Amino acid sequence: MTRMEEVKTTYRSPDEKARLINRLKRIEGQVRGIQNMVENDRYCIDILTQISAINAAMKNVGLELLEKHTHHCVTSAVQNGEGEQAIDELMDVFKRFSKSQ
Q: 1-59: per-residue pLDDT in tens?
A: 556 678 888 889 999 999 999 999 999 999 999 999 999 999 999 999 999 999 999 99
Cβ-contact 73, 65 below 8 angstroms: no
Whole-number pLDDT of residue 26? 98
Q: Cβ distance 51 to 38 under 8 Å?
A: no
pTM value?
0.81
C-alpha–C-alpha distance, residues 64 and 21, integer Å: 13
Distance of alpha carbon 100 from alpha carbon 81, whole angstroms: 31
Q: What is the largest CA-CA distance in the chain?
A: 56
